A and B are shown apart, each in its own frame.
Chain A
Amino acid sequence: MVRVIVDGTPVDVPPGSSALQACEAAGKEIPRFCYHERLSVAGNCRMCLVEVARAPKPVASCGFPVADGMQIFTDTEMVRRARRAVMEFLLINHPLDCPICDQGGECDLQDQAYGYGSGISRYKEDKRAVTDKDLGPLVKTVMTRCIQCTRCVRFSTEVAGTPELGLVSRGENAEITTYVEKALTSELSGNLIDVCPVGALTAKPAAFHARSWEYKKTDSIDVMDALGTNIQVQARGGEVMRIVPRVNDEVNEEWLSDKGRFSIDGLKRKRLDRPWVRVHGKLSSVSWKDALIALARRFDGVPGDKIGAIAGDLCDAESLCAIKDLLQGMGSSNLDCRQDGAWYDTSSRSGYLFNSDISGIDQADALLLVGTMPRHEAPVLNARIRKRFVDAGRGGFPIGMIGTPTADMTYDVSVLGSGPDTLAELLDGQHAFAEVLKNAKKPMIILGHAALTRRDAPAIYAACRDLAHACGAITPQWQGLNILHTAASRVGALDLGFVPGPHGCDAASMLRGGVEILWLLGADEVQLDRIPPETFVVYLGHHGDAAAKRADIILPGAAYTEKAGTYVNTAGRVQRAFRAVFAPGEAREDWRIIRAFSEVVGHTLPYDTLEELRAHMAQINPVFACGNTAVPLLVGEQESGATPASVRDGTLMATPLRPVVQDYYQTNTISRASQTMAECSRVYGKAPAVAAE
């Protein structure tokens, strides 16, 4: 540690820290525009000037390394004058259109102009104006406001891995642009809005809608992918206006995918806001009481094993638990949360988790992707892989892939093969990449749903597991065999045991007429056309999507922003979301609907409040008692040595792995209802489909 004296206060900081970091460690606030702790240091805004003893001039603290015994002064007349001068220069060409700027109220420049800005301008010449750029449907530009901090350039180059923004020309003509007009192709482009310290880059869909101080802010969890990104839902007057990421270094650092940020307009469209019952082939709206009674009447006399439930991708663990308890109370074990037909090793929790945790990527030194396309399945996780790739330097983090990349991965990937038979080659050691994995200290394998939804999924999993053991990816210190989920509800459902019982039907056989009453809990991505006409379909969900059309009874539920829910992310992290707004119309929180129905149907569930339900969940699986903390494989079990025998059936097939996400912007009911996402889908197009088997 290096001892630095900041304004007379000694602080110890790690060697190599910058003066700015030392000042922050001492609790001093240093104004800055270009410096961002997750981006490289540019040092071009000059706002972070401080005085250093025996230095002849003020120094830019963001790029100035500390030395032992260095004396830094953050609040001297010299510093104040220097910062005022910098601010004056920054404001020369800044339009000062704060009243019509969407950044107003949360603008770094505005805030700091209060501290260092002059009340008058000495600049008499014309201000410079810059043409606005069209960066696609998500990011709005007002380039005249740009102060050229280049945070956006660094973000898109370093974090997103899509170097499409740059600072072109020089001097007075310098401007941020894509040069050739094009829409940003990143799935993380919304974060540009967050990193921009001024109002140059703002959210296009939210332009002129609200002011930052009008929002009611609620902590929540993103459900658009299985990463469990920590978000803050910002609402005004019962309407979700904006979603921004919260900082959580263990999960999403401070990034959020575009789908999580911009599909909010989908929360207002195509909503189910009252119960519907199909009478003589036509849906008609009814009261809750009538709907529940009609449903209870339909349940009457149906044996338990003829009732089944399929859970969708956006469900909270509470509603999953309630529906499971209800059906089990009726004697049914026809439960399935795997609407995509995925296969998991459910013998232990580590069989379906991202075992190394998301932050484990930062330690891995070799990576094998099997049947996964992280860029489309979890863009923020992909950025983490890229971060590791960049940090490790040239060749420091070799990445192999089995499958076919459907887009630029944003890091170098060697495609080892298109089908799972490549795994056999890796196991034999024939393949060159086997050596890479073997030589790595902390090799990582990420197994995705392109592999797990195939018929030979058990064999692929077994092969991956064998490979992980062979290359030292599973040791007491390192858990390198990871499953990357695509559905936010999936791990929570698996933790609750939302899978068919010993004699239960799985999703496919339920759909094919295995049950008389099929309860779809937000399950819209099932093959609805397979459901025979005589099956009675109950749909509990929030959007009038495909499944609601087929349903015989529709119970309107709450979307993720409208209910307090528990979500378990792909790494097994139990996270709680809070209710930001109320569900529209008659719609209610899902678990309350199930609880109410249980009383009508005569199988009353033993909980009346959310707390009681959560206590019950904790009884089913102790991980749910853990609240917002990381629950890796710690609870329950340790990784066992050998691959369970039950897993070893089937053989690896040679057919190519097909990507599960065809169109990143249209994967669930909310994003399909969103006009913004539809526009993105139109602009960016679907990922090219890989030739059919």
Chain B
Amino acid sequence: MSTVWTPAEQPDSFVFDAASEEEIAGVLSKYPQERKASAVMPLLYIAQRQMGRVTGSAWVPVVAMDVIAQRLDMAAMRVYEVASFYTMFNTRPIGRYHLQVCTTTPCWLRGSDDVVEACQKATGIQHFGGTSADGLFTMTEVECLGACANAPILQVDDDYYEDMNAERTQAVIAELRAGRRPEPGPTVNRSVSAPLGGRKTLLPSSTVEQE
């Protein structure tokens, strides 16, 4: 059974850069000064994104949690608890692109196994949680992403790629590998969660009359 794992490779220091500081100032302004510990989750996320920006691996090292604890005047242990509780915070280094495949029932029924397989084939990752040899991709299994209407979903970092199949998954990964980010959203002919091939209801009155 897995236990908490503190990676051997921890950076020695962490400092919020100017862009992060600007965000932090905005976040902290939402909370009363004596309750600023409430900002722990936004700050963890800011730290994670900064790591992604700076090092290409969006994760939160222990030093960053210590810096956050100090900043928010709370015990470091409380930050560790929060960071380890939420799966969206990566407590170990990950690849440049974080492939998060939803395998919960609706996605699974719609073929998430194919998406997983395609990810494996395209990146060489053997199992969930693994990182590709080139360090570009990490694939994790996630639970319901809440976009079941467009199942199956592949989430890359913060973006949803919807209505995936093996072929389109490979295409997305190929684009990512080339350093481009494809447009997120449905990968089939539909607008957001509307039916395939365009709207079927609430059509303009003229269309209805013609039928």
Contacts and interface: CB of A to CB of B under 8 A. Distances in A.
A168 B34 contact: no
Interface in A333-375: none
26 contacts: A126-B1, A128-B1, A130-B1, A163-B75, A163-B77, A164-B77, A165-B77, A166-B78, A166-B80, A166-B81, A167-B81, A168-B80, A168-B85, A169-B4, A169-B85, A170-B84, A173-B2, A173-B3, A175-B3, A175-B4, A179-B4, A179-B6, A179-B80, A179-B84, A180-B6, A394-B34
Contacts of A157: 75
B46 interface: no
A546 interface: no
A91 to B, nearest CB: 17
A130 B3 contact: yes
A131 interface: yes
Contacts of A181: 6
B62 interface: yes
Given A168-B85, A170-B85, A179 B1 contact: no
Given A163-B78, A168-B80, A177 B34 contact: no
A173 B129 CA distance: 15
A172 B34 contact: no
Interface string B1-25: 1111010000000000000000000
A172 B77 contact: no
Interface residues of B, number: 15
A177 B85 CA distance: 13
Given A157-B75, A166-B81, A169-B84, A177 B4 contact: yes
Given A157-B75, A166-B78, A166-B80, 14 more contacts: A131-B3, A163-B75, A164-B77, A166-B81, A168-B80, A168-B85, A169-B84, A170-B85, A173-B4, A175-B3, A179-B77, A179-B80, A180-B62, A181-B6
Nearest to B3: A131
For the complex of A and B, the 3 pairs showing the least CB-CB separation, nearest first, are A163-B75, A168-B84, A166-B77
A169 B5 CA distance: 10
B25 to A, nearest CB: 24
Contacts of A173: 1-4
A675 interface: no
Contacts of B84: 168-170, 179
In terms of DSSP, what is the predominant structure of the interface of chain B? helix
Contacts of A180: 6, 62, 76, 80
Contacts of B1: 126, 128-130, 172-173
Nearest to A181: B6
Contacts of A110: none
A178 interface: yes
B24 to A, nearest CB: 23
B9 to A, nearest CB: 14
A181 to B, nearest CB: 8
Nearest to A179: B80
A173 to B, nearest CB: 6
A129 B189 CA distance: 49
Given A169-B84, A169-B85, A178 B3 contact: no
A128 B3 CA distance: 10
B64 to A, nearest CB: 13
A167 B78 CA distance: 9
A130 B4 CA distance: 9
A600 B84 CA distance: 72
Nearest to B84: A168
Contacts of A165: 77
Nearest to B62: A180
Contacts of B6: 179-181
Nearest to A172: B1
Nearest to A132: B3
Contacts of B85: 168-170
A42 B67 CA distance: 28
Interface string A671-689: 0000000000000000000
Interface in B48-75: 62, 75
Nearest to B85: A170
Contacts of B62: 179-180
Nearest to B80: A179
A179 B3 CA distance: 11
B12 to A, nearest CB: 14
A170 B85 CA distance: 5
Contacts of A179: 4, 6, 62, 77, 80, 84
A8 to B, nearest CB: 43
A170 B78 CA distance: 14
Nearest to A161: B75
Nearest to B6: A180
A126 B34 CA distance: 46
A130 B80 CA distance: 18
Interface in A143-171: 157, 163-170
Nearest to A394: B34
